[in-house]
Structure 1
Amino acid sequence: MSTTNRADLLRPSDVDTLRAELRSLKLSTGLPILFGGTVHGADLVLSGYVGTRGRFLRNLVISSERGLGGRAIAEQRPRSVADYFASRHITHDYDRPVGGEGIESLLAVPVVVRGRTRAAMYGGLRTPLPIGDTVTEQLVQSARALAREIEIRDEVDRRVTLLDNVGACVQVGNGERLPLTVSDTITESYLELRELAAGADDPELESRLKAIEDKLRALGSSGSRVPTAHLTPREQEVLGYVALGCRNAEIAERLALSLETVKSYVRNILAKLEVHSRHEAVVEARRQGVLP
């Protein structure tokens, strides 16, 4: 029986994103050869190649602290050598595949997510010349962008797992409401997913994030009656943060709105729900199914 779970199906390939970064770097840096891979356990497995001439680097496994890339992975910072084969600062475990590609100058940049190296990208020259600061910075910025994408995907996986666990443990029907702690967790989840979607560069990932957000909303409101108050999407968003105990100033900062605009939204919410306080608004919104 297959062990593939919903997170596996939803998560776009990190390797595909790495390869896209390498292709983009080829155009922006002009480096003749670029390659990279993702980290599995303590090892880096090469899986993306641009400008290679043979199969010397195909699926090569780079051990932590071995070679230039292994050192970059272990130290979590860019490392470079202008004359690879003469360098005394790295081990030479991978001289044969490097030499097979004719590489003489090499730069390795780790992709670090929350203190853990998740991938690495290399840029190389077939002449023993230093790789300049401008090109190095381009690889570093690309590594940061890739790290951000992986971090977003990690959070999606975590939220999908939450959705599966809540769905398995809590049945909502016949008017029964979710426990408050579960309800707050769902509210927090879909609000955070919305923020992540806004920062995602991948349209496919953004679409998947939105789909998961909708599922979380639906899980929280299942079994509740049709709402009589009709809040706009922005009002629902503001109300979600109110439900989490956020003050107006914090909501304004999170949503990049002015404090007065947030106050106006809150007033509209109270009026539409026909209540007189923020607490009453949350209670009534949950009763109607406007909030989980």
Structure 2
Amino acid sequence: MAHSRAAATLQSGYVLMNDVMRPSDEDALRGELRLLRGRTPFPVLFAGAVENGRMRLSGFAGTRSAVLRGLVIDARCGLGGRAMAEQRPEAAADYFNSSHITHDYDVQVAREGIESLLAVPVVVRGATRAAIYGGLRSRQPIGDVMAGEVMRSATRLAREIEIRDEVDRRVTMLANAGAGPGAHRRGAAASERIIESYLALRDLAGRVADEALGAQLRAVEETLRSLTAGGADPSVTLSAREFDVLSYVALGCRNAEIADRLSLSVETVKTYMRNLMAKLEVGSRHEAVVEARRRGLLP
């Protein structure tokens, strides 16, 4: 029964990741537009996320009307649809007379007064996940220099989405590992996968640009860690770094490798190791892992 409750709680954590965190991908997209507004010559910026081969415009900066809001762009239709399908930036210096795009969205583009348009896809692991547009209210060529900042923005957004995808993958891995009390019932391989996922989540939290998302990732990592351990002994409290070091020891890493992964000196790793061994009242690395599992600190 306890295992079922913990598994249900973990599933709730997974729902939290998808229903609360993933929708904020559009917040990241809108955040990029805010950054771009002061860095590019484009007076009009807009963007949208791609799902099932279609893009819905949801982020805007500098628009004069609501005509583009919620507009759905089909693959290969218009400039953005072409960029989405071909996964490369597309530009039209004279949008309405361009012969290399379809003109399904001319009415909407015209109502915004756009004459020249750039569309840059956000590609993650071979799939187009969004696109960012820059529009000019005059007819003029859109060269590499003008497009450069938009392309860098698309690269940043792609990296952010890839990190979030990896978080989802790790959370799913934890859920499938049968998380919950009873670490002694898990095989060594399953325990190692769980520990690797904790460490990956913590690493991602440290690398993500969005501070709020980083804090959320750390909170999810801590929640999942508590669920997949066996009911931690409250008499032993490890610091975050001590837990990291112990986790790598459980994966079979030596001090030099741990130091490299955590960007610490070997002597600092040894100090953490001595401290956690004293807390666990053991005399060796192996005993530390065994005792930590017995006390519910590791899966």
The residue type paired with residue 211 of structure 1 is: A
Decide which of 213, 216, 230 is 2:221's aligned counterpart: 213
The residue type paired with residue 7 of structure 1 is: M
> CA 1:40–1:257 in structure 2 vs 1: closer, same or farther (change >3 Å)?
same
Residue 218 of structure 1 deviates from its aligned partner by 0.9
Q: Give the Cα–Cα distance (whole angstroms) in 2 for the partners of residues 32 and 59 of structure 1.
A: 20
The CA RMSD measured in Å over matched residues stands at: 2.7
Q: Which runs of 5+ in 1 are unaligned?
A: none
> CA 1:136–1:247 in structure 2 vs 1: closer, same or farther (change >3 Å)?
farther
Q: Deviations over 1:153-201 (max 9, x none)?
A: 22333333344445xx45526xx63513332222111111111111122
2:50 corresponds in structure 1 to: 39
1:27 corresponds in structure 2 to: 38
Conserved? CA contact 2:171–2:197, under 8 Å: no
> CA 1:245–1:115 in structure 2 vs 1: closer, same or farther (change >3 Å)?
farther
2:82 corresponds in structure 1 to: 71
Q: Is 1:183–2:194 an aligned residue pair? A: no
Q: Give the Cα–Cα distance (whole angstroms) in 2 for the partners of residues 201 and 290 of structure 1.
A: 30
Decide which of 119, 133, 138 is 1:127's aligned counterpart: 138
Question: Looking at both structures, which has the greater relative contact order when contacts are Cα pairs under 8 Å and sequence separation is at least 6?
Answer: 2
Q: How many residues matched?
A: 285
SS at match of 2:39: helix
5 Å matches for 1:188-203?
A: 188-203=196-211
Greater mean alpha carbon deviation, residues 276-285 or residues 211-220: 276-285
Decide which of 7, 10, 14 is 2:20's aligned counterpart: 10
Q: Give the Cα–Cα distance (whole angstroms) in 2 for the partners of residues 260 and 171 of structure 1.
A: 35
| TM-score, length of structure 1 as denominator length | 0.85
1:255 corresponds in structure 2 to: 262
| TM-score, length of structure 2 as denominator length | 0.83
SS at match of 1:48: strand
Q: Give the Cα–Cα distance (whole angstroms) in 1 for the partners of residues 112 and 192 of structure 2.
A: 55
The residue type paired with residue 264 of structure 2 is: L
Q: Give the Cα–Cα distance (whole angstroms) in 1 for the partners of residues 297 and 198 of structure 2.
A: 13
The residue type paired with residue 181 of structure 2 is: V
Q: Give the Cα–Cα distance (whole angstroms) in 2 for the partners of residues 223 and 257 of structure 1.
A: 30
> CA 1:143–1:233 in structure 2 vs 1: closer, same or farther (change >3 Å)?
same
Decide which of 289, 292, 298 is 1:282's aligned counterpart: 289
Conserved? CA contact 2:115–2:135, under 8 Å: yes
Q: Is 1:50–2:50 an aligned residue pair? A: no
Residue 114 of structure 1 deviates from its aligned partner by 1.7
How high is the sequence identity, in percent, across the aligned residues? 58
Q: Give the Cα–Cα distance (whole angstroms) in 1 for the partners of residues 101 and 167 of structure 2.
A: 37
Greater mean alpha carbon deviation, residues 198-207 or residues 111-120: 198-207
1:236 corresponds in structure 2 to: 243
Conserved? CA contact 2:180–2:230, under 8 Å: no
Conserved? CA contact 1:226–1:289, under 8 Å: no
Conserved? CA contact 1:10–1:208, under 8 Å: no
Q: Give the Cα–Cα distance (whole angstroms) in 1 for the partners of residues 179 and 50 of structure 2.
A: 36
> CA 1:135–1:258 in structure 2 vs 1: closer, same or farther (change >3 Å)?
farther
